[in-house]
Structure 1
Amino acid sequence: MRTGTAEEIRTEPTPAPVAVVWGLLVLNTLGSAGAKTIVPLPRSLIQMVTMGSLVAAFTLALALNLRLRVRSSAFLLLLTLLLALSVISSVHLESGFGALFRCFRLAVFVGTLWLVSRWWDGDMTFVRHHIRMYFAVLGSVAAGLVLSPGAALPDLYGGRLVGALWPLTPPQIGQYAAVIIGLTVLLLMGRRTDRTSATVVIVPSLVLLALTHTRTATLGLLLGLALAIGSLVLTSAAARRFFAWAVVGGTVTAVVLGSALQAWFLRGQSKENFTSLTGRAKVWDALLSAPRSTTEYLFGVGLGDKSYGGLPIDNSWLAVYHEQGAIGVGLVAAIVLVLGGVALLRPPSLARACAIFLISYCAIASYTEAGLGDASPYLLHLTVAASLLATPVPAGPPPAPGVPRRRVPTWARRTEVS
Structure 2
Amino acid sequence: MDRAPATPPKAVGIVWLLLGLNTLGSAGAKTIVQLPRSLIQLVTMGSLVVAFALALALNVRLRVRPSAFVFLLTLLLVPSVISSVHLESGFGALFRCTRLALFIGTLWLVSRWWDGSVTFVRHHIRMYFGVLVSVAAGLAISPGAAMPDLYGGRLVGALWPLTPPQIGQYTAVITGLTVLLLLGRQVDRTSAAVVIVPSLVLLALTHTRTATVGLLAGLALAIGSLMLTSAAARRFFTWAVLCATVAAVGFASALQAWFLRGQSKENFSSLTGRAKVWDALLAAPRTTGERFFGVGLGDKSFGGLPIDNSWLAVYNEQGLVGVALVAAVLLVLGGVALLRPPSLSRACAIFLISYVAISSYTEAGLGDASPYLLHLALAASLLVAPAAAPPPAPPPPRPGVPRWARDREVS
Q: Into which bin does the TM-score normalised by the smaller protein fall?
A: over 0.9
2:89–2:298 Cα contact (<8 Å) kept: yes
The aligned runs of 1:132-143 (5 Å cut-off) are 132-143=126-137
SS in 1 for 2:295: coil
Q: Distance in 2 between matches of 1:394 and 1:287?
A: 50
Structure 1 stretches lacking a partner, 5+ long: 403-418
Q: Deviations over 1:74-113 (max 9, x none)?
A: 1011000001221111111111110000000000000000
Deviation (angstroms), 1:398: 6.2
Q: In structure 1, give the amino acid aligned to 2:277.
A: V
Counterpart pick for 1:109 among 100, 103, 107: 103
Alignment equivalent of 2:352, drawn from 328, 351, 358: 358
Amino acid paired to 1:234: L
| Offset at residue 73 of structure 1 (A) | 1.1
1:250 matched to 2:250? The reply is: no
Residue in 1 aligned with 2:409?
Answer: none
The residue number in structure 1 matching 2:361 is 367
TM-score, normalised relative to structure 1 = 0.93
Deviation at 1:393, TM superposition (A): 1.6
Q: Which runs of 4+ in 1 moved over 3 A?
A: 394-402
- 1:293 matched to 2:287? The reply is yes
Question: For residue 82 of structure 1, what is the amino acid of its counterpart?
Answer: L
Partner of 1:305: 299
In the TM superposition, what is the alpha-carbon distance from 1:369 to its structure 2 partner?
0.1
Partner deviation per Cα, 1:7-64 (whole Å, 9 max, x = no partner): 4xx3x31000000000000000000000000000000000000000000000000000
Q: Which of the pair has the greater relative contact order for Cα pairs under 8 Å at 6+ separation?
A: 1
Do residues 20 (structure 1) and 14 (structure 2) align?
yes
Deviations 1:351-390 (A, max 9, x none): 1000000000000000000000000000000000000000
Task: Give the one of 137, 157, 164 matched to 1:163.
Answer: 157
Contact 2:116/2:381 (CA < 8 Å) preserved in 1?
yes
The whole-number CA distance in structure 1 between the counterparts of 2:271 and 2:249 is 26
The reply to whether residue 214 of structure 1 matches residue 208 of structure 2 is: yes
| Aligned mate of 1:381, from 364, 375, 378 | 375
The residue type paired with residue 196 of structure 1 is: T
The answer for the alignment partner of 2:401 in structure 1 is none
Cα displacement (A) at 1:400: 7.9
Looking at structure 1, the residues matched to 171 and 9 of structure 2 have their Cα atoms a distance apart, in angstroms, of 27
Alpha-carbon distance, 1:401 to partner: 7.9
Is 2:164 aligned against 1:177?
Answer: no
- Give the 3-state SS of the residue equivalent to 1:70 in structure 2: coil
Q: Does 1:55 align with 2:49?
A: yes
1:291-323 deviation digits (Å, cap 9, x = unpaired):
111100000000000000000000000000000
Shift of 1:256: 1.1
The alpha carbon displacement at 1:394 in A equals 3.3
Q: Distance in 2 between matches of 1:110 and 1:328?
A: 15
User: Counterparts in 2 of 1:187-202, with a 5 A limit?
Assistant: 187-202=181-196
In 1, the alpha carbon distance for the partners of 2:333 and 2:54 equals: 27
Q: 1:81 aligns with which of 75, 86, 101?
A: 75
Give 1:264-343 correspondences, 5 Å limit: 264-343=258-337
Alignment partner of 1:151: what SS? helix
- CA offset at residue 396 of structure 1? 3.2
Give, in angstroms, the shift of residue 399 of structure 1: 7.0
2:79–2:294 contact (8 Å) kept in structure 1: no
What is the CA–CA distance in structure 2 between the aligned matches of 1:15 and 1:89, rounded to whole Å? 38
Report sequence identity in percent.
Answer: 81
Matches of 2:392 and 2:137 in 1, distance apart? 50
The equivalent of 2:405 in structure 1 is: none
Question: In 1, Cα distance between the equivalents of 2:56 and 2:389?
Answer: 24
TM-score by length of 2: 0.95
Q: Secondary structure at the match of 1:38?
A: coil
Map of 2:222 onto structure 1: 228
Segments of 5+ residues of structure 2 without an aligned counterpart are 397-411
